Structure 1
Amino acid sequence: MKKFLFFALLAAVFLINPHVSSAETLSYIPDNPEKALIIIHGYGQNGARMQGMTNSLKKDLPDTAFYYPTAPDRAPHRGYQWFAIPAFGAEMSEMKLYRRMFADAMDNVAVLHDLVDEIHNELDIPYENIDVTGFSQGGLMAVLTALTNPNHIGRAVSLSGVPLVLTDDFDADMVVSEPDILLIQGTNDNVIPANSIVLTQKTLESLGLKPETAEIRGMGHQVTPRVLQYLIEFLQ
């Protein structure tokens, strides 16, 4: 029953759209873009659900092209997933669950690396001007993409992201870049572990990185106007 309630909560928060195909990437490309931002959806979502962020971002990031990829794997309760999530909330913190999640996550990071190359080649945007952000499991995917991309892309922002930890599938030897990183989480988030932002911060610091962090009091597992403002200020 507890697991069912979590999936029901996710469905309500994410407003799943079942009509978008896996691995489809939607985009908004202004005239003569100089930068690009990849926005990665969370569990049970798709790229279309994140596309609504365009209107909130394009005014302040006018020279930026926005990309909204859809994960290649179907989620069991409709929508798509970058990796399977066996449990939510505090239960997610067990290392054996992290190992399962990171095995899938690292497989699908390759999809995002391919998208980075596509943006660079088609729009002639320098790799360092390509940033990544994502919500929930998309937040983790954004950080993993930035850390492991051999072309040293720009910045990464994790919005209420699944924690970054070291596992057999992701270790220090796989980190080839040192991007600027911002971590954002609400203090009332009960979908991912309450200490997610701390876990990710400690992992990044162990890798020699110093991420910026923002904890928003009273916010749950969501993207609010305040979150978007933090994102815009970090990317400007």
Structure 2
Amino acid sequence: MIGAVAMAVFRLGAFIWARAPDGTPAGNIDQPGPVGVGFASLIGIANHKQFRNAAMMKSFGPLSGIYTAPARGGAPSSLIVIMHGWGADAQDLADLAYPMSLRFPGAAFFVPNAPEPCSMNPMGRQWFDLADTDAGPAAAGEMIEQSVATAIEELGLGMEAVALTGFSQGGMMSLHCGLRMPARPAAIVSFSGALLSADGIGLADGRPAVMLVHGTDDQVVPYAMMQAASQAMAAHGIEAQTLTRPGLAHGIDPDALSGAIDFLAGHLPA
């Protein structure tokens, strides 16, 4: 399993160089592919703009990022954390909050920036260096755990009202943290991610519910990594729900997002 993860991480680095063959930094380099495709037909542009204008930069514990209060106003009924991929930043996934808010008007959203500058793209961020899939994720995981603990205390929520979601390296971190935290979140959604290690994972009080979403044509974190993660979790008593997107490369398409929202609706208050 670890060898397969290391290979996926290596492919992620190779993908970055393929995106910038002249060596010029290519901006945010682990963007979620066609994440924006078709969204104009799914969301009202004016309402989307109003929602985005309400977002603010905010820190919870050691992590800062983009925070959006509940669309319906008042105290939040849940917290959805969205973690970006390697070499990207919070801006890349911030727009996912709006379509989620249509189903969860009482949810607060936090899209944190990863703690480190990206080793291959200083304009972006990373949760851990590609060469370090042990100590790096552990250190980042502690910061995510502290940040979530600070957020729920500030927002007046319990972990049973929290969902951890993420794309690519952010999806890896959602699994790495959410399956080990002393108090488990209600749900995890990993888009195009992988399980870095099965050591120490498990459920607590029946939580979390887990969904793995992956494209069959992903050449960065191969589709087989989703299958391996599902099997490893099953061996530890965690039955993950999987959503396969035929023909999708390394990205999130509208069907992947809507499937994830439907999944979360079964585990979070609206």
Name the TM-score class by shorter chain: 0.7 to 0.9
For 2:185 and 2:197, the matched residues in 1 are separated by 21
Cα 1:120/1:206, change in 2 over 3 Å: same
Flag the structure with more relative contact order, 1 or 2, with Cα contacts below 8 A and sequence separation at least 6: 2
- Mapped contact 1:6–1:191 kept (Cα < 8 A): no
Q: CA deviation at 1:163?
A: 3.4
Q: CA deviation at 1:103?
A: 2.2
Q: Return the index of the structure with the highest Cα Rg.
A: 2
Cα 1:121/1:196, change in 2 over 3 Å: same
User: How many residues get paired?
Assistant: 213
Cα 1:164/1:200, change in 2 over 3 Å: farther
Alignment of 1:85-234 (within 5 A): 85-86=130-131, 100-166=132-198, 171-172=199-200, 175=202, 177=204, 178-234=207-263
For 1:150 and 1:110, the matched residues in 2 are separated by 11
Residue of structure 2 in register with 1:96 after alignment: none
Q: CA deviation at 1:35?
A: 0.5
For 2:134 and 2:18, the matched residues in 1 are separated by 24
Alignment of 1:38-53 (within 5 A): 38-53=81-96
Letter in structure 2 aligned against 1:14? Q
Deviation track 1:108-129 (CA, whole Å, cap 9, x = no partner) reads: 1011111211121111112100
**Percent identical across equivalent pairs?**
26
The match for 2:112 among 50, 56, 69 is 69
Deviation track 1:127-180 (CA, whole Å, cap 9, x = no partner) reads: 1001100000100111122111112221000000033333xxxx13x6463411
- Mapped contact 1:164–1:203 kept (Cα < 8 A): no
List alignment gaps of at least 5 residues for structure 2.
1-10, 20-25, 33-56, 266-270
The alignment yields a C-alpha RMSD, in angstroms, of 2.3
SS in 2 for 1:59: helix
Alignment of 1:16-55 (within 5 A): 23-30=63-70, 31=73, 32-55=75-98
For 1:44 and 1:52, the matched residues in 2 are separated by 18
Cα 1:23/1:13, change in 2 over 3 Å: same
Task: Return 218-227 or 51-60, whichever deviates more.
Answer: 51-60
List alignment gaps of at least 5 residues for structure 1.
87-99
SS in 2 for 1:141: helix
After TM superposition, the score normalised by the length of structure 1 is: 0.82
